[in-house]
Amino acid sequence: MYVRTVAAAAAVLGITLCALGGPAGATRAAHPAPARSAGPPAEPGARTARGPATGAAVRPAALRGSAGRAAAPRSAPLAGPRPGLFGLPVVYAHRGASAYAPENTLASIDLAARLGFDWVENDVQRTKDGVLVVIHDDTLKRTTDARTVFPNRSPWRVKDFTAAEIARLDAGSWFRPEFAGARVPTLAEYLDRVQRNQGRLLLEVKKPELYPGIERQILEQLDRAGWLDDRHVASRLVVQSFSADSVALVHSLRPDLVTAFLGAPPEDELERYAAFSDRINPWFREISAEWVADVHALRGPHGRPMEVDTWIVDDPETTERVVEMGVDGIITNAPDVVRQTVYGY
């Protein structure tokens, strides 16, 4: 199969395959077998084109009104992240190397870097006292010991705890004992570590409806950390969300940023998203080769063909299937499994 011949072709050409821009000399760490795929999207509205109960069409405010043709490209459009070697998909470490380390922790992104992956994906929410933290769920129950430390604080919502309280929690023991003591990082800590790892970031604005104004706050944090300079904006940062309104707001605040909408809108809605989103990033079960081609046929707000990064793909068979569909990126808990399948090493 084509994807299995890449390593051989590179050897013939004298090309050393590396981790799509990852740290030079990164070594493959020993690890157990990857966890099973995370399965269907957990967020209400992750199947964004349809309502979760009735199946009625959902039209975010960003999509109402005119068809929303893409804005004219900048006079010198940014290069932006592009497909990987030989035009094959870029591999994104979902919440870090989360098949092998507790998700969204510094340990997980450090492991992704050691495995040779520079692109990591994360989720950003906000504490009671206004600090941005990196955590997926809107409660602390699944990935910390909040129920033990704060037994009377049910339902343990992130937004009901201060940053100092969350910093007390163990975010590693639930995964494996050797990760005991891992913490929920602040976004500032996370950005510093990704930068130290010479990494790139696919940042998700998680459940923005719970945190009014979080988009502007995230951009301010990125700016303070040096992530909105030309180099980062051109090739090291993508901002995405399940909320079309949130993606549209980020685009309006920083039109130079690469943005992505999480979901799989029907073909007749895609053109509207092209007004504010460079990518459509769907769950792999919701797409086909024809749908991917429809996305590619449109140009996003920077005047480039729109791209598709699909999630969450953790096994060789699904990897081969989405590569054949023509996706531009694969978001995975087990990036080494996907890399082996696609790039042969």
**Residue 302: active-site member:** no
Listing DSSP states for 270-282 in one string gives: HHHHTTT-SEEE-
The answer to whether residue 251 is catalytic is: no
What contacts 24+ positions apart, CB below 8 Å, involve 5-14? Answer: 5/344, 6/85, 6/86, 6/88, 6/342, 6/343, 6/344, 7/343, 7/344, 7/345, 8/344, 9/86, 10/85, 10/86
- Beta bridge pairs of residue 157: 139
CB atoms within 10 A of CB 269: 17
Q: CA–CA distance from 12 to each of 2, 5, 33, 92 (Å)?
A: 15, 11, 31, 27
Catalytic residue (choose from 94, 232, 251, 296): 94
The tokens of 247 are what? Answer: 């993606």
Pairing assessment for the beta strands 258-262 and 237-241 based on DSSP bridges: parallel
What is the Cα 103 distance to its own chain's centre?
A: 12
Enter the DSSP assignment of 176. Answer: -
Place of tokens 């940042």: 203
- Catalytic-labelled residue, pool 136, 251, 296, 302: 136
In whole angstroms, give the CA distance from residue 192 to residue 21. Answer: 18
* Cis peptide leading into residue 155 (ω within 30°): yes
Contact residues for 104 (Cβ-Cβ < 8 A; gap 6+): 95, 96, 98, 122, 123, 134, 135, 136, 143, 171, 184, 185
**What are the tokens at 262?**
């999480």
Query: Which are the catalytic amino acids?
Result: 94, 136
